[in-house]
Every structure is written in C-alpha cells, then in structure tokens.
Structure 1
Amino acid sequence: MSVQLDAEGRLRHLLTTEGLPRDLLTRILDTAESFSGVLGKSVKKVPLLRGRTIINLFFEPSTRTRTTFELAAQRLSADVLNLDVATSSTSKGESLLDMLHNLEAMQCDAFVVRHADSGAAELIARHVAPGVAVINAGDGRHAHPTQALLDAFTIRRVKGPLEPLTIAIVGDILHSRVARSQLHVLRTLGAGELRLIAPRTLLPRHCEQFGARLFEDMESGLAGADVIIMLRLQRERMSGALLPSESEYFKRYGLTEERLQHAAAEAIVMHPGPVNRGVELDPRVADGPRSVILQQVTNGIAIRMAVMAMILGGYNEPAIASASDEEESG
C-alpha cells in the first residue's frame, strides 16, 4: 500500500499523483467543486478544521502556492503557521527530522512542504507521527500534485469532460515537477490525446509511458489542440540543458497570437506561474481572452481546501453547505 493511502484507500498524505486511482482523483475534483460554491458566498469560511493546526514548511520561494495553501486552511477554520525556514533552527545545524519532531510536539496536525530535493515530502511522511499528514507543495523535479489537480479542475470547469480533449504541454518538461504530475493526472482521468512540445534537450526519456505524442515543432504540436499548458522555463534547474538563449527559445517555443491560431478555435491557455513574459508567453496571450491563468490561481484555493478536508476533516458536502449558510446568516 502506498504511504499516502490508508488501508481503505483514503488519502492519508498527498505526495504525488502517480498511482492515485481515477475514482479518488475525481472525488478530489468533485470536492473542490463544492468548495467553489462556498467561496462564492459572502462568508467564505467553514468550520471543518476548527481546532486543527497546519504548518507551511517552504524551503523554496513561493507566492501562489504558499498563499493559496494558507488561504485554504484559514477558510477551513484551521490555525496556520508559516515557518520562516531561513531563520529556523535548521540554519543552525538542526536536522530536518529533528525540526519536524519538535513541531509535532507542539501538536500540529499537518505539514505542507515545499523542498528543493526530490523525495523530501515522502521522507517526511515516512517519519511523522501517526495522525500527522504531509502534503507535498513541490519537491525538486519530482512532483507538484496540487498544481496538477487544480489544472485538471480548471480544464474540467472550462472545457467539460477531459475524454474528448487534446491537451498540449509545452516547454521545459525535463525539469518540470508540474508536467510530471500533470501527465499522471491527465492520463488517469482519460484525456483524449496528450502532446509534449519541447526542444529535444528538454524532453525526458521514456515520455512514451504516458501515451503522449512528442513534437519538436511548435506549430505541428499545437494543431487542433483544445488546451495549451505552457511551462515556466526552469532557470534554476537547468544546468547543462543545451539551450541557445531565452530570446531564441521564445522564437521557437513562445506562445504568440499567431501560433495560437493553429490550435482549436476555443482553445484555452494555461500556465502554472510565475510567467516569464516574452520567454514562454507573449503578454498579449497571457492577458488575452483565451488565458485562464488567473482562474487557475482561484481554483488552487478550492483544490487545496478539498485535499485538506479529505485528509483531515471527514468531509461531507451537505455539512459544509449548511455550516457556511449558518455562518453567513449569523
């Protein structure tokens, strides 16, 4: 049994999308849908995690992910602590696991972890006390499960069922934990056709395991695509990646209004952020009518609420709706 599932197949941790069954992924998306309704109310809080404590442990910089995790926990009425890792005792030589055990002794219920090392979240999950959950907010080049889930959720909300869709992922796939997690989710949820578009030097080996078609030519890869997911050029993870320059990359793989014409008429454009304007996306596309980038950010709150509710809160939709209505009327 995977460390992230309990004996009944329920989420105990969320570390990767790999191996998660379709019914569980669908249940996460459906749960997020119910929270989207709550977030549209004047009172956005529900009491599901009242009395619970969630600690954000971000060993890498983050704006969207850390903030939306914090908002999601607060809207579930949890107490949230954002640990400043740069000034924590790890900077004085304390080991990661010693720090975690000290935080556990303060009666926390979950760690949300971002770390530069692949596998860090699973290491932590294997050493936390029983009943303490770990949610991976991105580890090295390995996984970013909530980003992949919010992307699938956004696609489903805007385009409907994934089965008929052609989805193209463009850019630095080799170094992208987002792309790796997306491929697992999209394949499991039955997306019609997956395409990977990148220079040969930025395509990982064995992409065929995902049933994806590979393209080095941008226009050919975009032809008829319903969804275009642009990836950030991972400057900090690219040692030895044979790229001429950012401007040359944009000439071949940047998404412009002209290139967008090769896609389906109602195609949407996505990006996990932060966007390098003029490198991955022309600003006119990033801010244009096909872009759903800001919707992705909003949907990240609902997905992260769903994950925390399912792991920690004994989620059920009617209770959430009625609790929210009571607080709003009160």
Structure 2
Amino acid sequence: MTLTQLKQRSLLGLKDLGKEEIESILERAAYWENHPVKVHSGQQGKFAANMFFENSTRTRFSFEVAEKRLGAEVINFSAAASSVEKGESIYDTVRTLESMGIDVGVIRLKPTGLLAELSSSIKVPLINAGDGNNEHPTQALLDLYTMRKQFGSLSGLNVAIVGDILHSRVARSNLWALRKFGANVSFCAPPNMQAPELDAPYITMDEALKADVVMMLRVQLERHESGMLKSAEAYREEYGLTVERAQRIAKHAIIMHPAPVNRDVEIDGELVEHPQSRIFPQMENGVPVRMAVIERALS
C-alpha cells in the first residue's frame, strides 16, 4: 500500500480531514444503522487490533462491536496487562502486531503527537481512538451524526461545549469538524480549564443554556488532587447541568455528553435519560459510525 493510500484509509484526526470525506463517513454510517442484518461477512478474514494504551471500556467495546458486525477477526490489546508495563515501547508493540499480519489498528494512547509518528512508520491503516489531549475523531463523528439526525443539518447550529476544554480531545475534534459544516461553536469553562490557543469564544453558563446543543464534558475528578478543581460540589454549583438549569434550555435543544458520566457533578443524574438527552443514543450511534470508519480503513 502506498503512503497516500495509507493516509486516505487511516483516521488520525478531523482537523485536516475534508468536509466531503466526513460527509461520506456519516452517509455510510446511516447505511449501516439502517441495515437489518446484524453481522456481515464483508470483512471476513481481516484482522483488527484494538490497542489501548490508555483505558476506555466504552470506546473499546464500541469498536469491537463494530468490527465484529463487519465480520472481522478482533484482537484486543490492553496495556495494563501487557509488555508495555515491562518497558516495551508503544512503537515496538504496534510493530509486533503489524508483523503478525493485522489489517487495521485502532489505537488509544496518552502521549500527544506520538500517533502521527507511528502512522509514518507503520504500514497498516491506523484509527485514532483518542490521543492525549489532541483529538478523538470517532467521538466527534458520532456527535455530528447525532446532531444531524436531530436537526437535519449542522449549518447554523449553535453548539455550546461546557467543561474542561484545556484537556479535552472531544472539544477539539468537535470544534474542528463542526466548523467545516458551518456550525457555531462556543466554549464555557472555568478560567483554569480554558484553552486560549483554540479559536472559539468563551461564554457564560447562562449563555450556554441558550444553545441548540448543550454538550457537557466529563470532569476528570483526579484534577481535584492537582488543585485544578476545588471540589466536585463547587464545580456542579458553577458549571454543572443541574435540574434547575435544564429547565431553561430551549424545547428544541438537546443535551449531549461523550460519557462516561459523573452523575451529579457535570450533569445531574436524572438528566442522563431526560427526554432531551441524547447520551445513550450517542453511544448507539457510535457503532454504525465506527463500522463506517473501519470499513473505510479495510476497503
């Protein structure tokens, strides 16, 4: 496979992916969502490796279901119980699986920037399942898919993303992808969780509640230890989507969250399955979206 083909079939991020390409992935996801047969044989004999050097049960399960529905063989690799703990580098691990004959690698890792390096030396398509605080492209694709299903079009949509923008790869991928479709993205965050390098306006919580899409980000409670977060209660008080605040969102608006959810911190527990919440439908949409991305990598 040439480097150009590899690049075309990999999915490292949405910042540099064209609108047409994103559009075609979303169209293909719609095809898979409406396909009545649960398991297909199209990718039979192909091997997909899920290489998670950082934990994420939901994302890994979603990819695994997508791969199995396409008929691919699945290899799951989790760093916590692996040789990476013994000092083998991430590069060596990926190269090892490549040399064993995998056809696509789904990879999640902590260091930002390493994925781009890996992709230039690994000869199979790679799919980014979250890298550092850089990008999480399949999460943003399923978010766009969910919004499109709800509103028909993304153009002119007002999307408010609330939470720890500084460390959020979800916020970055959504910002870059939504802008290509003419959506207006604004952020709402405590001053020490803002990312000034991202070109988007910051608004108050009251203003965020006026958006068409109110997207809450997970609070990483471990930031409490580092002093970034005063307390979970104080965060909820200022930036949480409480039952009281949810009464102020527009009737047509939707609530989103990439999950896992810290109930009663960034969002009150009873709002997770509120009629305007799309949190579980987002997870549901993740499977056809990832089927489209895996298929694109293997075709």
TM-score by length of 1: 0.85
Cα deviation 1:54-82 (Å, max 9, x = unaligned) = 11111111111000100100011000000
Matched, 1:24 2:26: no
Distance 2:23 2:93 in 1: 35
The answer to whether the 8 Å contact 2:236/2:266 transfers is yes
- 1:87 CA displacement: 3.0
The answer to whether the 8 Å contact 1:121/1:135 transfers is no
Matched, 1:102 2:117: no
2:237 paired residue among 244, 251, 270: 251
Distance 1:79 1:22 in 2: 31
Distance 1:175 1:134 in 2: 23
Q: Residue 9 of structure 2 aligns to a residue in which SS?
A: coil
% of aligned pairs identical? 44
Matched, 1:229 2:221: no
- 1:239 CA displacement: 7.0
Q: Give the equivalent residue in structure 2 for 1:92.
A: 86
The answer to whether the 8 Å contact 2:224/2:231 transfers is no
The answer to whether the 8 Å contact 2:160/2:208 transfers is yes
Q: Residue 230 of structure 2 aligns to a residue in which SS?
A: coil
2:256 paired residue among 264, 270, 295: 270
Distance 2:75 2:298 in 1: 16
TM-score by length of 2: 0.94
1:15 paired residue among 6, 12, 16: 12
Distance 1:79 1:105 in 2: 16
- The within-5 A match list for 1:109-120 is 109-120=103-114
The answer to whether the 8 Å contact 2:242/2:267 transfers is yes
The answer to whether the 8 Å contact 1:125/1:134 transfers is yes
Q: Residue 244 of structure 2 aligns to a residue in which SS?
A: helix
Q: Give the equivalent residue in structure 1 for 2:206.
A: 219
The answer to whether the 8 Å contact 1:168/1:195 transfers is yes
Aligned residues: 298
Question: Which structure has the bigger radius of gyration?
Answer: 1
The answer to whether the 8 Å contact 1:175/1:238 transfers is no
Matched, 1:290 2:276: yes
Q: Residue 213 of structure 1 aligns to a residue in which SS?
A: coil
Q: 1:256 is matched by which residue type in structure 2? A: T
Q: Give the equivalent residue in structure 2 for 1:67.
A: 61
Q: Give the equivalent residue in structure 2 for 1:53.
A: 47
- 1:240 CA displacement: 5.0
Matched, 1:300 2:296: no
User: RMSD of the alignment, in Å?
Assistant: 1.9
Q: Residue 248 of structure 1 aligns to a residue in which SS?
A: helix
The answer to whether the 8 Å contact 1:202/1:241 transfers is no
- 1:36 CA displacement: 0.3
The answer to whether the 8 Å contact 1:175/1:237 transfers is no
- 1:194 CA displacement: 1.5
Q: Give the equivalent residue in structure 1 for 2:130.
A: 138
- 1:241 CA displacement: 5.8
- 1:238 CA displacement: 7.1
Q: Give the equivalent residue in structure 2 for 1:173.
A: 165
- 1:237 CA displacement: 5.9
Q: Residue 146 of structure 2 aligns to a residue in which SS?
A: helix
Matched, 1:199 2:197: no
User: Relative to 1, partners in 2 of residues 1:89 and 1:36: Cα closer, same or farther, differing over 3 Å?
Assistant: same
Q: Identify unmatched segments of 5+ residues in structure 2.
A: none
Q: 2:32 is matched by which residue type in structure 1? A: F
Deviates more, 1:159-168 or 1:228-237: 228-237
The answer to whether the 8 Å contact 1:144/1:181 transfers is yes
Q: Residue 94 of structure 1 aligns to a residue in which SS?
A: coil
Q: Residue 220 of structure 1 aligns to a residue in which SS?
A: helix
